[in-house]
Amino acid sequence: MNRFARSAALGALIVVCASSSVFAAPPARAFVSGKFGLELDGAAAGITGLQSVSKVEPITVKLPLLIDPSLVCLHCDPVPVPPIDFPTVSFTLADAHADSVYQWLNDFVLNGNNDDSAERTGALNFVASGSPRFTLNFSHLGIFEISSDTDAAAEAIKTVTVSMYCEQMSFDHSSI
């Protein structure tokens, strides 16, 4: 497995500018020896089993290109700032540890308890060499899908992928 494949298995943070092909991402080497921890409102909120999360899908945040209208036109009206396009946050965990996530899906989607107060917060903590490197914080998370992962090996541990929308993210690098 090459370095890219290993870093993809751990998840990746990529920031993309909407008008160019330039992107910024931490070097792949930082993820190769690192580990991560996913938190959703803590254990007190009823989401348990997150210690068995084996994969977090790559997270790409698309930033809108902001152009100062005064550089283009002397008589132009101000342009409203377009919203940031936050991606779906998806992670994989063992089906045997997913009971509380299924309960959240049932309550949030099927029972309709999905207003702002029912959305959750979360954090993805990246650790390398035993110390925290950075944290990606999530606000207004709402679960919308749990899919069963099928694998050819029947004896393998059964896993599920959980998908959540996210309305706000912040990056904390104070521990770097």
Are 145 and 114 in contact, with CB atoms under 8 Å apart? no
Per-residue pLDDT at 151: 64
Per-residue pLDDT at 102: 93
Tens of pLDDT along 79-137?
Answer: 677 788 899 999 999 999 999 999 999 999 999 989 998 899 999 988 877 777 889 99
Per-residue pLDDT at 4: 33
Helices (H), the chain: 3-10, 28-32, 99-105
CATH class of 3-172: mainly beta
Tens of pLDDT along 145-174?
Answer: 999 987 655 567 889 999 999 999 999 887
Tokens found for residue 6? 């290993």
Q: Is the pTM of this model over 0.75?
A: no
Distance CA 172, CA 151 (A): 36
